[in-house]
Chains A and B, each alone.
Chain A
Amino acid sequence: MIEALQQKVNADVALVRRGRYLTTTFLLEIGAAAWLIAIFEGRIVSVTPGPFVMPSSAFALRADAEAWDKFCEHRPPPGSNDLMALIKRRALKAEGDLHIFMANLRYFKEALGKLRQGAGR
């Protein structure tokens, strides 16, 4: 499912345009699973599944599987409807150098929101 992010994000012309100054690689961990997601000028160029020995990334987003499943519901319940809502509840950890994450926060919220059921169709 996470691998679908590449096609779903790249198909959103406006999102890719807003991300045109964004080039980075970040680590997404959901429960025990992990993915390295590489972005070049707003387009996702690769989604590489783990496990990894020494993953290099600018920052990492780490959530437990249950919290992430709720975030991905078609209509998430209160407290699960947004990355910042998860962070506030300590259900999502954002770690590393968060400058690029915060400077492009709308991009990351909208990109990961593509994983929501019924989104990006």
Chain B
Amino acid sequence: MSAQFEPITGRYMHLDLFGRKHRIYVEEAGWGTPLLCLHTAGADGRQYRALMNDARVTSNHRVIAFDMPWHGKSSPPSGWHNEDYQLTSAHYTSMILDIMTALELDRPIVMGCSIGGRIALHLALDHPERFRAIIGLQAGAHVDPYYDLDFLHRPDVHGGEVAAAIVSGLVGPDAPDHERWETLWHYMQGGPGVFKGDLYFYKIDGDIRDRVAEIDTRRCPLFLLSGEYDYSCLPEESLAVAGSIRGSEVTIMKGLGHFPMSENPPEFLKHLLPVLEKIGRM
């Protein structure tokens, strides 16, 4: 028997966010330029497991992913049991900036997917000076609801099963089976109402259509990578965002879906590594 350990370390950080005590789970691997990774709605930082295990990334980047409160191994704040969780743009932004400060990250690259891609656009607009570069995965300015979100949180529908079933088709057709089902497992493990609460930001509060063209890439470079098979954030929506922001760069990733870093890491890295190299030369 030979056990093998991954080069990832995880720690629990105690931090006040929005005036409340929080216990936040943070994972990291590698050394060098900080690369802060933001997970999708209803999932957690495990989506970046492959990046943290790839020496091409970790040899010159300190890759960091935290589970948002209520997600993964982070706890909801005390009193959660009488609340409906709902993510807002303001809380999401301050959470990211406060965690960066707590971890003493100096102008990291931030990379977020889906809701993380959306908040990346907010950060590019409102806090460009805090970042070396911003990478939006599956980043669009807005998504209209296309199903009844109430099905995500009601006692006669299994929240984990329905969340995974809703997003399963967002995984691209070429995803290796084990990565596809690992990605969906994270959705199956989400707490009650958490995916729905994240989608409040994604589909309602985080709409940035009227401001996205104001992003100034001279203050912070912006890269957009979007999967061809994503029907939540359509490739044309990422292209439209890129088209409205002078100096932004966009790539549509053939065969990939809504979870590129988790569903098909080898294919995703073919697109990410050149972006990281380019940022490294800036």
Contacts and interface: CB of A to CB of B under 8 A. Distances in A.
A79 B172 CA distance: 11
Given A81-B173, A83-B169, A109-B169, A102 B151 contact: yes
A82 B148 contact: no
A98 to B, nearest CB: 7
Contacts of A88: 146, 231-232
B217 interface: no
Contacts of B232: 88
A78 interface: yes
A87 B170 CA distance: 13
A56 B229 CA distance: 35
A24 B79 CA distance: 40
A106 B231 contact: no
Contacts of B169: 81-85, 109
Interface string A76-112: 1011011111011100000000110011011001000
Contacts of A109: 165, 168-169
B158 A87 contact: no
B229 A106 contact: no
B251 to A, nearest CB: 15
B231 A85 contact: yes
Contact of B229 (A78, A87, A89, A99): A78
A75 interface: yes
B166 interface: yes
Given A103-B156, A103-B157, A106-B168, A78 B228 contact: yes
Interface string B137-180: 00000000011100100001110011011101110010000000
